[in-house]
Structure 1
Amino acid sequence: MYGLEGMDFLTSSTPAMLAELDSAMADGENIVVTLWEPHWAYGAYDLKNLEDPEGTLGDAEEIVTYSRTGFADEFPEVEGWLAGFSMDAELLYDLENQILTADSEDDYPAIVDAFIADNQEWVDSLTA
Structure 2
Amino acid sequence: MVLEGNLTARPQNVVVYATSNRRHLIREFFVDRPAPKDNEEIHAWDTMQEKLSFSDRFGLTLTFEPANQKTYLKIVQHLAAQAEINITQEDLEFQALQWATRHNGRSGRTARQFIDFLKADLKLFHANSNTSNT
Range class of TM-score, shorter chain: under 0.3
Per residue, is there more helix in 1 or in 2?
A: 2
Higher CA-based Rg? 2
